[in-house]
Structure 1
């Protein structure tokens, strides 16, 4: 679900973890496996085929090949929102008020969070954002994800939500005169929104996330990426800044990414960073190289990915009807 669906595909970027943590409620699930799907041995990777190199001024509108096998940000956020709404109704049946401040604004803010994450796949890529915030994450999309956290619930509320008693056993007796659903209201909500159950869908999402990570990591060591990083570094030296690559600029220990506002020095480096990226076409080169590696892993995993695409299409078709049924708060207590 939402809380598990963003992974730090750029594990080498330690400083980026500060703002990636703020995204942990709104992106793609990832269990980074070293073997193939369902325990099969990992397949030897195919050689990447050439992809035309674009010249973008931002990565916000670029779509990598594996994106076709994942829900759109809007679909993902809508599904998450509906799960919360079904949980609300179920909890209301036990006499509990749950997520009292939840609204459909959740969809908009979650989409904004995901888009910010994607726009920084190769580091910051928005000139206006760099001039305003440096390397800082936007506070608006990264705001409060869930209006109520599980640890703030009473023991009966937790049992209704999780389907587990305080000692961890599955609920077997009625709660407030009502039987607790299997896996609680949380489990019932997932089964309602994702008709085929979350397990098979999660396997497909995990596969796509693993392949994305695999392709990304292979692209990082590609000579073309190394070459464009060196050209970018030379451009930065011409502007008075010494960094080996864009990650080093982001990781500069002078930046306090948890502070309310960036320093003038951070903004100066960030704006130079963007200028040099555009001058040497770092964004387009990174995208083309990664797309090549993604096409290669798609070729290696076509049957599994087509199953994921079919499942995604079925889920997408269900969303409008589910929104008509559940897009409102339950009656007050």
Structure 2
């Protein structure tokens, strides 16, 4: 894996620490959706700490700016460098998808299985795969012997000088703490109890939505009828218990408190993130690579 790919997706990987793990595998035979099957509730769910982590769109934006500068560097060395194809706005996941359990729209189609990557994500992934097969000479020019040199290092310096990459350690620590703290509040415990009662009435015995999603029975190539039925009942019970609404409200209060308690650490992390984003927008606007994808990051 080329190093820039690993670095700029770090925030996305870390976000999974605070979300439900998906089970099962994706298969080429499954048709990719036109856009992600995500509910309105999931797309609208925002939490205070979101401001301190990179969204998928922001990650792609920085990646594209870095890639544009790498192309300039590689061309200067007499080598071709194909920039990555863009990812469409509708193909990016909202930051809190599955945070409190299965999403209604996803579960209707895929149960607890991960949805297939949409077309623009597939194209970008294939472009990364193609880079892993580049000749050794091109790899060295792009990344240097260490994997962090070459035109990658040149591009980063042109982008932000000596500004370090945004760290997400603080965000990860606090978002995980907020999730669990909110889970222990009386109102969330009550909502989870209502959810369990609803599930039990339908014949299911799970302590919480995470356990339902993580059942080893769902480790199949495709969602089974039993998995689909469970997932649909799960989200129906979430709605009747108002689980997501109650949990999100409780966590919002917890996150506001944690932000006040960790203001200096978070302010520093956000300043680094904002510096990279501003530099990326500047590069892309001057290179003519602005698109609806990049404008979304301003919202």
Q: Smaller-chain TM-score range?
A: 0.7 to 0.9
Higher helix share: 2
Structure 1 residue 102 corresponds to structure 2 residue 84: yes
| Mapping for residues 131-210 of structure 1, pairs under 5 Å | 131-141=108-118, 143=122, 145=125, 147-149=127-129, 151-164=132-145, 168=146, 183-193=149-159, 195-199=160-164, 201-203=165-167, 205-210=168-173
Aligned to 1:277: 238
Give the C-alpha shift of residue 83 in structure 1. 1.6
Q: Aligned partners of 2:110 and 2:51: how far apart in 1?
A: 31
Aligned to 1:286: 247
| Mapping for residues 312-323 of structure 1, pairs under 5 Å | 312-323=273-284
CA distance 1:211–1:188, shift in 2 (3 Å): farther
CA distance 1:319–1:155, shift in 2 (3 Å): closer
Q: Secondary structure at the match of 1:138?
A: coil
Give the C-alpha shift of residue 219 in structure 1. 3.0
Which of 222, 226, 230 is matched with 2:189 structurally?
A: 226
Structure 1 residue 266 corresponds to structure 2 residue 227: yes
Which of 200, 203, 211 is matched with 1:248 structurally?
A: 211
Give the C-alpha shift of residue 247 in structure 1. 0.9
Q: Summarize deviations over 1:278-312 as a string: whole Å, max 9, x none.
A: 10011012212222221122111112323334444
Q: Aligned partners of 1:313 and 1:13: how far apart in 2?
A: 24
Which of 266, 283, 301 is matched with 2:262 structurally?
A: 301
Q: Which has the larger radius of gyration?
A: 1
The TM-score, its normalising length taken from structure 1, stands at: 0.68
Aligned to 1:119: 97
Contact 2:20/2:100, CA 8 A, preserved across alignment? no
Q: Aligned partners of 1:237 and 1:57: how far apart in 2?
A: 27
Contact 2:61/2:277, CA 8 A, preserved across alignment? no
CA distance 1:70–1:251, shift in 2 (3 Å): closer
Runs of 4+ more than 6 Å apart:
none
Give the C-alpha shift of residue 15 in structure 1. 5.0
Can you give the 5+ residue segments of structure 2 that lack an aligned partner in the other structure? Answer: 1-6, 27-38, 290-299
Structure 1 residue 129 corresponds to structure 2 residue 106: yes
The alignment of Structure 1 onto Structure 2 pairs a total of residues equal to: 267
Can you give the 5+ residue segments of structure 1 that lack an aligned partner in the other structure? Answer: 21-55, 171-181, 329-333
Give the C-alpha shift of residue 198 in structure 1. 4.7
Aligned to 2:46: 63
Contact 1:85/1:327, CA 8 A, preserved across alignment? no
The TM-score, its normalising length taken from structure 2, stands at: 0.75
Aligned to 1:178: none
Q: Aligned partners of 2:54 and 2:96: how far apart in 1?
A: 14
Aligned to 1:86: 69
Contact 2:61/2:281, CA 8 A, preserved across alignment? no
Aligned to 1:215: 178
Give the C-alpha shift of residue 154 in structure 1. 2.6
CA distance 1:14–1:211, shift in 2 (3 Å): closer
CA distance 1:19–1:9, shift in 2 (3 Å): farther
Contact 2:8/2:63, CA 8 A, preserved across alignment? yes
